[in-house]
Amino acid sequence: MRLIVARCEVTYSGRLNAFLPESTRLLMVKEDGAVLVHADAGGYKPLNWMTPPTVIEDRGDLVVVRKRAGKTEDRLEIKLIEVLSDVTHDMGEAAGLERTVSSATCSCCSRTTRRTSSTGSGL
């Protein structure tokens, strides 16, 4: 996983066009080809992202991420103005998600039931 903190501009073209003006952002470049652009504010969702499979071209001050979408191409251009941090980490093999089962007593009939916690779809 490569983590870059940089002042940058981001331009997306594809199904629509979007532009993020110059600001300090966290860029996550995952080993599987996913690229996520985060701001410090606004919650956990990225401002922009591209899911794998992608082609990533690192030209120094410009990172271009491309993905074929049918007959068209989605393109994310990240213009790096000032790189504040650029580190790469080997995350190793990811362990699977473990779910726990707990018991609860029903308030209406005092029967014991089993609940399985779920993280939702996709996790």
Q: Residue 52's domain is classified under what CATH number?
A: 2.70.180.20
**pLDDT (tens digit per residue) in 33-86:** 999 999 998 889 999 999 999 999 999 999 999 999 888 899 999 999 999 999
Model confidence at 31: pLDDT above 70: yes
Q: Pick from 92, 78, 95: which is nearest to 12 by CA?
A: 78
State residue 46's pLDDT score. Answer: 96
Number of domains making up the chain = 1
State residue 106's pLDDT score. Answer: 58
C-alpha 31/C-alpha 20 separation (Å) is 24
**Residue 97 covered by a domain:** no
**Residue 36 covered by a domain:** yes
C-beta neighbour count of 54 within 10 angstroms: 19
**Residue 7 covered by a domain:** yes
Tell me the two tokens of residue 40: 């410090």
Contact 57, 64 (CB under 8 A): yes
C-alpha 55/C-alpha 69 separation (Å) is 13
**Residue 6 covered by a domain:** yes
pTM of the model: 0.77
**What does pLDDT average to over the chain?**
88
